[in-house]
């Protein structure tokens, strides 16, 4: 595959991620709050907690950490799980009367799940970027860092701040892993697939 084609596909992936994983969930969350549809609100709040790993990944990529390719794939695995895992929320959403919000939310949930699964499959060849510093330094891997650097230039325009932003990514990842560990080892055994604490 040519470098130009790879670059265009990578940028397409980032654009789709902004659409499916950022813009639409924000609109849906606001819509659910306005309509006071609590099951959709709760599921979207869970989604935002889980998908925060993508934001952490952006900061890790800015910091130049090769293992950011692992966190990127992990985020794409966890997002569909978070959207379908909760039995009680799935039942409550199914029981909602037909509405444009329910239709758009259900369509987004399916589209996001399909996008994430395809994204995981497409990202598998790039796993080698996580395990070899030499491979990480090649254009094959570095093309994935262009969008995070663009994000940095817009939101964090101070020059030579990659190390500090990478540090923020590491701190975010540690907090994320602690919370995820707490959920897996304590809450999951107690609550199972029920989202609402009893």
Give the model confidence (pLDDT) of 42-52 as tens digits. Answer: 999 999 999 99
Residue 198 placed within a domain? no
Residue 94 placed within a domain? yes
Query: CA–CA separation, 31 vs 99, rounded Å?
Result: 12
How many angstroms from the chain centroid is the CA of residue 145? 16
If pLDDT is split at 50, 70 and 90, which confidence band does 184 have? confident
Query: CA–CA separation, 57 vs 128, rounded Å?
Result: 16
State the burial class of residue 174 (Cβ atoms within 10 Å of its Cβ: 0-12, 13-18, 19+). Answer: exposed
Residue 27 placed within a domain? yes
Place of tokens 């030579």: 160
Q: At what angle do helices 3-17 and 146-155 cross, to 10 degrees?
A: 50
Residue 197 placed within a domain? no
pLDDT above 90 (res 70): yes
CB 171 within 8 A of CB 65: no
Given this model, what pLDDT does residue 196 score? 64
How many domains would you assign to the chain?
Answer: 1
- Going by C-alpha positions, the residue among 60, 81, 80 that lies closest to residue 70 is 60
Residue 37 placed within a domain? yes
- Cα angle: 17, vertex 25, 99; to 5 degrees: 130
Residue 124 placed within a domain? yes
Place of tokens 């397409």: 12
Given this model, what pLDDT does residue 198 score? 47
- Residue 130 lies in domain: 3-191
User: What pLDDT digit, counting tens, does each position of 96-143 carry?
Assistant: 889 999 999 999 999 999 999 999 999 999 999 999 999 999 999 999
Residue 136 placed within a domain? yes
Residue 98 is given by DSSP the state P
Residue 28 placed within a domain? yes
Q: What is the mean pLDDT of residues 139-150?
A: 92
């Amino acid at each position: 595959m040519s470098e130009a084609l790879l670059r265009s596909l990578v940028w397409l992936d980032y654009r789709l991620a902004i659409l499916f994983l950022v813009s639409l969930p924000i609109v849906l969350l606001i819509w659910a709050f306005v309509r006071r549809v609590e099951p959709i609100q709760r599921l979207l709040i869970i989604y935002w907690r889980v998908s925060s790993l993508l934001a952490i990944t952006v900061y890790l990529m800015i910091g130049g950490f090769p293992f950011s390719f692992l966190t990127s794939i992990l985020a794409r695995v966890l997002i569909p799980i978070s959207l379908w895992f909760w039995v009680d929320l799935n039942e409550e959403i199914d029981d909602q009367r037909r509405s444009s919000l329910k239709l758009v939310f259900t369509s987004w949930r399916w589209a996001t799940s399909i996008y994430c699964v395809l994204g995981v499959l497409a990202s598998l060849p790039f796993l080698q970027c996580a395990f070899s510093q030499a491979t990480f330094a090649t254009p094959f891997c570095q093309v994935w860092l262009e969008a995070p650097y663009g994000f940095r230039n817009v939101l964090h325009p101070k020059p030579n701040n990659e190390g500090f932003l990478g540090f923020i990514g590491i701190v975010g990842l540690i907090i994320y892993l602690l919370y995820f560990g707490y959920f897996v080892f304590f809450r999951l055994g107690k609550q199972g697939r029920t989202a609402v604490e009893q």
